[in-house]
Amino acid sequence: MASQIQRVDVHHHVLPDFYKDVQRAAGIMGSAYQAFPEWSVDKSLALMDSLRIGTSIVSFTSPGIFYGDIAQTRELARRFNDFLAETVSARPDRFGAFAFLPLPDVEASIAEIGRIYDELHLDGICLLTSVDERYIGHPDFWPVYEELNRRKAVVFIHPCYPPGTEARGWDIPRMLIDYPFETTRVATNLIFNGVMEKLPDIRFILSHAGGTLPMLAHRISLFDKKTKQQGNYPKGALHYISKFFYDTALSGHPAPLNALTAFVPPSQILFGTDYPYVSEDIAASETSGFDAYSGFDNEQRLSVERGAAELLFPRLKKLA
């Protein structure tokens, strides 16, 4: 049963016209399965009001800002993050933001982390699952993880197109099945490469109830003592899987929520919509499915809707 608390949506995107222009210049003419959706601050606020969302932590999303030109990537990171800061500054009660980093440039990313936290005062970082054919968790980016750990950063991981090529004739929209697989790859990569064990102060949020990770968690754990990376995750895969945070975007059905809560405590689950990359009607129907889910008691539901987000973003407590 739905509560009356004002929810926090941690999976809510922005899509200003200048981001569409950046993508079109790179030959990308729409989202993963349709033309670019229409977005504005007012549209977000209307959706939020209709679904009892008090605050959305907004982010840019796939395909990101790296198109092979590092100088362009550095410039876009600053522009995009300045836009996020302006959006939050105009309505700090209704918006927070996850900032982009200019990866694969490690040095520039570390510098931008400083600007994000010390000048722009944004709420966290958004990392896409891969950049320049390397998944998050790759050792090349280790200094960035160390700085995020030092900052005790909240890091929202969003899937993007898988690196490499696709089979001839493959025409299934990537967001339907590839995105959940990409999230699973990154989560496993972070565990197997020791990021979760060695840098435990990063709070990672996985999109879409962890993608396929809940269905594969048991299978992954069966081989804890057999992989060559076992020394990097000495407590076993299930321990680290339970330490990620997970949003509920596109998971408003008992099957994915039951799979998730089989391995993850409700205290690690956060509310999400994925607007505007899903339409208002899908966001509403998925929220209705979440509201109807009987697997949370009242205290757990309050935590998913707002309490867990307040622990990650303490400033939200003042807005309750």
The alpha-carbon radius of gyration of the chain (Å, integer) is 18
Strand, coil or helix: 247: strand
Separation of alpha carbons 194 and 234, rounded Å: 9
Q: Rounded to whole angstroms, how far apart are CA atoms 124 and 152? A: 9
Of the candidates 63, 85, 56, the residue with the CA atom closest to the CA atom of residue 19: 63
pLDDT of residue 172: 82
Summarised one tens digit per residue, pLDDT across range 27-48 is: 988 876 678 999 999 999 999 9
Residues 67-111 pLDDT 10s: 999 999 999 999 999 999 999 999 999 999 999 999 999 999 999
Rounded-to-integer distance, Cα 194 and Cα 232, Å: 4
Tabulate helix, strand, coil % of the chain (nearest 5): 50, 15, 35
Of 270, 212, 281, nearest to 241 by C-alpha is: 212
Distance in angstroms (rounded) separating the CA atoms of residues 120 and 174 = 33
Q: Where are the alpha helices (DSSP H) in the chain?
A: 17-25, 41-50, 70-90, 106-115, 142-150, 174-192, 195-198, 213-221, 237-241, 254-261, 280-292, 298-302, 308-312
Q: What is the pLDDT of residues 170-219, one digit of tens each?
A: 888 788 889 999 999 999 999 999 999 999 999 999 999 999 999 999 99
Domain 7-319, CATH 3.20.20.140 — does that match? yes
- Residue 142 CA to chain centroid, in angstroms? 19
The pLDDT-based confidence of 2 (bands split at 50, 70, 90) is low
The pair of three-digit structure tokens given for residue 128, joined into one six-digit string: 């896409």
Question: How far is 246 from 243, CA to CA, in rounded Å?
Answer: 10
Residue 253 per-residue DSSP state = S
Tokens of 141: 């980016």
Counting every residue, how long is the chain?
320
Its pTM stands at 0.96
Domain spans in the chain, listed from the N-terminal domain onward: 7-319
Q: What percent of the chain has pLDDT over 90?
A: 89
Question: What pLDDT score was predicted for residue 1?
Answer: 55
Which of helix, strand or coil describes residue 276?
coil
Average pLDDT score, the chain: 95
Calculate what percentage of the chain has a pLDDT beyond 70: 98
DSSP state of 7: E
